[in-house]
Structure 1
């Protein structure tokens, strides 16, 4: 942990170098021999995550108690995977919004050649998915207004996530909002190049990207936490 990282939280080339080396030597012997290097880079990521939480908390209420608590472990769960390599080759973390009235979550993923930040609804429970589809079916205008906003398009391009090939049960294939009704996941994703990740502006860009998700989150939160009369429930 260095004073430079504490004063100016950022991702540096050493973090990428460690991940690239781990990718080429994804075994316990190598990892144990390079535990000191791992701990050093983990400390830097924790500082970055703490700074990101501070920026995020300036414009949203977050339940995640610390940057350190936001991070996912580097150890892979290989029990049900054909890939038995023991370690992830990326840093990642997520922040949970506070109270049941703030829906959606924030995620960051730092990996050479595949860095991105995302947010939204990865696996809505059936009840939530039905409420979202019912609202879209009744009037898709509020959601389309968010998705067609210039700032949204420049940041995320389009809504992402798994979709049904046909209409969901109970909905007409000819519905004017069938393109939105087919979604099973509702995700906002912004990729970052390695150059962008390593720049001094990355922390600020991630925070601003999370802030750009808010209109979408506010819409979804209202749909999922109010009844047809607009009452909380």
Structure 2
């Protein structure tokens, strides 16, 4: 579970996103950071029980810095107003599909899959879906999967036309047009601070495991 103080820190940071305030409240940040690190270890252990690729990770390999890279952004706010962790073979810097947790008061969510893969990886995933569409279709249309991730695969990144080498009449075309392969589920603050948090999140990630595994077979 997340400590309420962690959510409170992020709420305050959103209102006072500047270095002066952050430095004055660094102890609150360190406490929130430790809280997320502990949660991350709990999730590594829980996910690792059914996905051995995750079991060997350390929290620092999964969690992200709170500092924003503002070099190429119009938004010059120095800090992220969320804390997050990505659980995948090779850690957060890998290109592998995995499990993501985003902690942000009033806007938290979990996700699973592969977001914005590089061209070669994207082509490999499309080929895998095309070659093994029956297996893919069973995964993403199964009752457990669709009940857990009611919104289905994210449609934020979709081509208007079929990708090169594929026909509009391909049975898998709705998936082949995707530029990312992600499912999400929103998380309310009450769940985040509940003693059942890890159990509930782990349950959803376990449903997503076959989906993640399929994406990771594409090479």
Length-normalised TM-score, structure 1: 0.84
- In the alignment, the residues of structure 1 paired with residue 121 and residue 19 of structure 2 have an alpha-carbon distance, to the nearest angstrom, of 42
Equivalent pair of 1:146/1:216 in contact (CA under 8 Å): yes
Q: Where does the alignment leave 5 or more consecutive residues of structure 1 unmatched?
A: 1-9, 226-233
The yes-or-no answer on 1:57 pairing with 2:48 is: yes
SS of 1:93's equivalent?
A: strand
- Give the match for residue 159 of structure 1: 153
The yes-or-no answer on 1:109 pairing with 2:102 is: yes
The yes-or-no answer on 1:132 pairing with 2:125 is: yes
- In the alignment, the residues of structure 2 paired with residue 37 and residue 56 of structure 1 have an alpha-carbon distance, to the nearest angstrom, of 28
SS of 1:213's equivalent?
A: helix
- Give the match for residue 112 of structure 2: 119
Once the two structures are overlaid, the 10-residue window that deviates more, 83-92 or 62-71, is 62-71
The yes-or-no answer on 1:47 pairing with 2:38 is: yes
Equivalent pair of 2:114/2:215 in contact (CA under 8 Å): no
Runs of 4+ that moved beyond 4 A: none
Bigger CA radius of gyration: 1
Cα deviation code 1:98-134 (max 9, x no counterpart): 69xx941221100011111112111323233223323
- Give the match for residue 203 of structure 2: 208
Q: Where does the alignment leave 5 or more consecutive residues of structure 2 unmatched?
A: none
Change (3 A) 1:37 1:136: closer
Pick aligned residue for 1:30 from 11, 17, 21 = 21
The yes-or-no answer on 1:170 pairing with 2:165 is: yes
Change (3 A) 1:136 1:60: closer
Pick aligned residue for 1:71 from 45, 63, 69 = 63
Equivalent pair of 2:89/2:96 in contact (CA under 8 Å): yes
Equivalent pair of 1:50/1:68 in contact (CA under 8 Å): no
- In the alignment, the residues of structure 2 paired with residue 219 and residue 135 of structure 1 have an alpha-carbon distance, to the nearest angstrom, of 8
SS of 1:41's equivalent?
A: helix
What is the aligned residue count? 213
Length-normalised TM-score, structure 2: 0.89
The yes-or-no answer on 1:221 pairing with 2:210 is: no
